[in-house]
Amino acid sequence: MQRLAVLFKDTASQNTAIQSSNLTIDPYQIAFSNHGFQCFFVPVLQSSFCNTCSLASVLKNPASTMGLIFTSKNAALAVCHYLQTASISLDPEWFKMPVYSVGASTSIPLRSIGFHPIGESTGNAAELAKLIVSDLVTMHGSLENVQKACTRPWTFFVGDKTRDVLSVQLQSALIPLQCIKVYEMKGREDVLEHLEYHVSDLFSNIASVKRPDFDLREIWLVFFSPSGIDVVLQHGLIAMHRIPHVHIACIGKTTADHACSVGLCVSAVATRPTPDMLMDAIVNFYKAL
């Protein structure tokens, strides 16, 4: 029987940074299809860029910082958007400096502007912070020497909902850090339309047994951020998880913890933000049955 996954995110084709890498099919769609799932995407969040002046001030002056840190795709896109709209190129000095990034989706736009991100395989901000401290200690010999060598702050581009995990870890190591908010997240205005079109009708059909071709044991709701969960909650459609045999999967521990805090039962958690890790988590769920 056909398996079904509802992914609460936009697709690769809706993302200009991923489009530039010539990917026409979303990697998550490929991963789910390879495992026999039909999947569709319901975008629930949209970002808007902000604090362009602060962003520009940093990008025009590489000597002002020790390096750059990104833990979200939207922060990377904010940099790309500024460079494109301002029609400027990065100072070559930037390419001699370290740039740290979590996950492939964040690293793709950074590579498109010439950076070579470090830390892509780290699964979250906490792991990236550990890597940064470890790399600096390896380079300078001791944490005390790191503190002496960091004569300028590291720059962490964040959003309005970025958690302080990385900031706390670096600051606890006395590594100077400046956080610059470059984007804000909000629920999409058309989210209800998407949800009603793709989800409400589908699940009402399933509930009334109008669609017997679907196996109710293999319907997955996949969340990619705490904010995405909150948007779905606001529209009252989180009750879908109460339909028998509907399961919830989350990207990362932070998203999973938030899902649990609002009363959802999480069946699978991807330890890293990649399609393969998500599918591994779902496959492992079935193996454990």
Q: Are residues 144 and 208 in the same domain?
A: no
The CATH number of residue 124's host domain is: 3.40.50.10090
| Same domain, yes or no: 227 and 276 | yes
- Looking at the structure, tell me whether residues 177 and 206 fall in a common domain: no
Domain boundary residue, one of 136, 169, 185: 185
Q: Tell me: do 11 and 38 sit in the same domain.
A: yes
The reported pLDDT for the residue numbered 140 is 97
Are residue 92 and residue 155 in the same domain, yes or no? Answer: yes
pLDDT tens per residue, the chain (289 residues)? 568 898 999 876 555 444 444 456 789 999 999 999 988 898 888 889 999 999 999 999 999 999 999 999 999 999 999 999 999 999 999 999 999 999 888 999 999 999 999 999 887 899 999 999 999 999 999 999 999 999 999 999 999 989 899 999 999 999 999 999 999 998 887 766 766 666 555 555 544 444 444 444 578 999 999 999 998 888 766 666 666 678 999 998 889 999 999 989 999 999 888 899 999 999 999 999 8
pLDDT at position 193: 72
| Boundary residue ending a domain (185, 203, 222) | 185
pLDDT at 210: 45
**Domain residues for 76?**
48-185
What pLDDT is attached to residue 12? 61
Please give the pLDDT value at position 1.
Answer: 54
Structurally, the chain folds into a number of domains equal to: 2
Q: What is the pLDDT of residue 241?
A: 60
Identify whether residues 30 and 131 lie together within a single domain.
no
User: Which single residue is written with the structure tokens 């001699």?
Assistant: 96
Query: Which residues are CB-neighbours of 208 under 8 A, at least 6 positions away?
Result: none
Looking at residue 282, its pLDDT comes to: 96
CB atoms within 10 A of CB 39: 19
Q: What is the pLDDT of residue 136?
A: 98
For 112-133, letters b (16+ CB in 10 Å) and e give: bbebebbbbebbbbbbbbebbb
Q: Are residues 19 and 128 in the same domain?
A: no
Residue whose token pair is 């299809």 = 33
Same domain? 59 vs 166: yes
Of the residues 185, 209, 238, the one at which a domain ends: 185
Co-location of 59 and 150 in the same domain: yes
User: Is 177 found in the same domain as 122?
Assistant: yes
219 and 125 fall within a common domain: no
Q: Are residues 77 and 104 in the same domain?
A: yes
| Residues 166, 163: Cα–Cα separation, whole Å | 8
pLDDT for residue 2: 64
